[in-house]
Chain A
Amino acid sequence: MSAIATTLTIMRHAFRAGLSDYRSMYTWKSWLAGWFVRVLAQVSFFALIGERLGSDERTTFYLLVGNALAVAAVTGVFSLNATSAERWAGTLPLLVASPSSPVIVFGSRGSYLAVDGALSALSGLFVAGAIFGMELPWPRVLLVVPLTMLVAYSCYCFGTFLAGIVFRFRDINSFVVLTSYMTIMAVCGVNVPLTYYPEALEWISRFLPLTNGLLAIRGVFDGDAASAILGDAALEAAVAIGWMTAALLSFNRLASRGRRDGSLDYGA
């Protein structure tokens, strides 16, 4: 079997294993009654803040769109929980000891999260949008679907990179998940325009997932020129590629270091 075929087989098995994990957490009923209610509550929570501010509708819709897309970010960043899950299952050292690269497994096993993130964000956006009376410009609004998928994948790439970083420091896993997600919420233009913060922070945020994709999505709603939307989407795609490349470059080195110093233990 060629190297590519082997890699594809590993990716397929890892994806199916991840999907099985997800099915053990959620059925479609518990997804709707649990996770989706949370998504809707999160988006509504911020949209209501917009209403409480008492300014024009644009503020409410700004917060609504930003926080719906932030759901895609949180789900994508959740992918770094994969390392902890392997540790709990006692399979982490086995993965590192196997001849294939752990990044292939981690990169594929959590990819269902990008799909889930896009689905959650889109359903949150459209349902909360309807509740708060947001206008959805047809057929332009269809562009939001691929753009949201791009954002979800970009956040997933970022999460995979972080998974490599926390590989040897699993005690801070949840810590890194929440800090990353909250930082994205704070500085990526989710709640206030990028110009609100100092220019240096604005620049940094352009290298984080969500920022550029969210600008593209806001552009769709605001009726911006196609070139501007495409430009922001291209930047989001570049950020995704950048983080996945960083994950590929750093993951094996960090895992090998753990193997050398014996820090990849079994269980908690």
Chain B
Amino acid sequence: MYGYLAGLKLEARLIHAHPDSLIPLVTAPLFTIIFLAIVRESGRYDLQPDALMAPVLMSLWWVALQHGGNIITGDRWQNLLESIVAVPTSLASLLLGRVTTVMCLGLVSFFEVWAIGELLFGVSPAFEHPLELVLILVCTAFASAGASVAFAALFVMTRNAYTFTNSAGFPLYLLSGVFVPVAVLPGWIHPVSSVIFMSWSADLLRASMKSAAIDDFWLRLGVVVLLGAVSFLIGRLVLFYVLRRMRTTGELATA
């Protein structure tokens, strides 16, 4: 727990020191303007809630991939990884603490999107199922944290994670159906999308904006949490083996 809290505080300080960390808080409002402009220009006012929720999901993906995913790689570049591995607390708890802070940052985008929608277009999210909405956002942030740990573990194995992080954003947005539901995509994509937690979150979030009751809410929310937990466990497992190999071969800073 001490390591978790230390990670939480450390990441908050790092974000405070590096304004670049706040990128999703800039891109979310701009995506909101773009999406709202598209649907309003076409007269599809019924899609405005979807246009508001897509940037929130994209921000969570972004922080999981770009920020959380690069935590260990960044530490390695700055020769901090040796010190972090040497301390008695577990790297996983420290990492989880740092990722939690990052996810809180991602969730701020919801309020930003709400404010921009209201100020510029007079549109706000449809709070048809407020309790469910909060639960979906919290569970999505949790699952994103799990994905973040998996990304962080996988990226540390690669020589050039930049290539992947720079390229993976839009394919993930597309496969997750953050704006256009997965059901609209070609059938062969559906199995891939079904194992991505964000596709479940996106469908739930859209359903929460409609007045009709949300079908199988708890089951679908459970899938989001389960897929997030699986990602976290995969990340932890990979990290365990990667660090053991690095300690054995002495490649901690150079591999």
- Spell out A's residues near B (CB within 8 Å): 24-26, 30, 34-35, 37-38, 41-42, 44-45, 48-49, 51-55, 59, 63, 171-175, 178-179, 182-183, 185-186, 191-193, 196-197, 268
Within 8 A of A (CB), among B19-37: 19-20, 22-23, 26-27, 30-31, 33-35, 37
Instruction: Select the residue from A41, A63, A173 with max chain B CB neighbours within 10 A.
Output: A41
A45 and B170 contact, CB distance less than 8 A: yes
- Spell out B's residues near A (CB within 8 Å): 18-20, 22-23, 26-27, 30-31, 33-35, 37-39, 41-44, 47, 78, 160, 162-164, 166-171, 173-174, 179-180, 184-185
B38 and A171 contact, CB distance less than 8 A: no
**Neighbour of A174 across the interface among B20, B167, B185, CB < 8 A:** B20
How many angstroms from the CA of A142 to the CA of B11 in the assembled complex?
Answer: 50
Given A53-B38, A54-B44, also A48-B167 (CB < 8 A): no
**Neighbour of B26 across the interface among A35, A182, A268, CB < 8 A:** A182
Contacts of A41 in B (CB 8 A): 170-171, 173-174
| Interchain Cβ contacts under 8 Å between A and B, 15 examples | A25-B162, A34-B164, A34-B166, A52-B179, A53-B39, A53-B44, A59-B42, A63-B38, A174-B23, A175-B22, A175-B26, A182-B26, A185-B30, A191-B38, A192-B38
How many angstroms from the CA of A191 to the CA of B26 in the assembled complex?
Answer: 19
How many angstroms from the CA of A185 to the CA of B38 in the assembled complex?
Answer: 12
Contacts of A197 in B (CB 8 A): 37
Contacts of B174 in A (CB 8 A): 41, 44-45, 48
Contacts of B22 in A (CB 8 A): 175
**Neighbour of A45 across the interface among B30, B37, B163, B180, CB < 8 A:** B180
How many angstroms from the CA of A186 to the CA of B180 in the assembled complex?
Answer: 19
**Neighbour of A178 across the interface among B26, B78, B173, CB < 8 A:** B26
Contacts of B26 in A (CB 8 A): 175, 178-179, 182
Give the shortest distance, in Å, between B44 (CB) and chain A (any CB): 5
**Neighbour of B27 across the interface among A178, A196, A268, CB < 8 A:** A178
A186 and B33 contact, CB distance less than 8 A: yes
A38 and B170 contact, CB distance less than 8 A: yes
How many angstroms from the CA of A183 to the CA of B163 in the assembled complex?
Answer: 24
Give the shortest distance, in Å, between A140 (CB) and chain B (any CB): 27
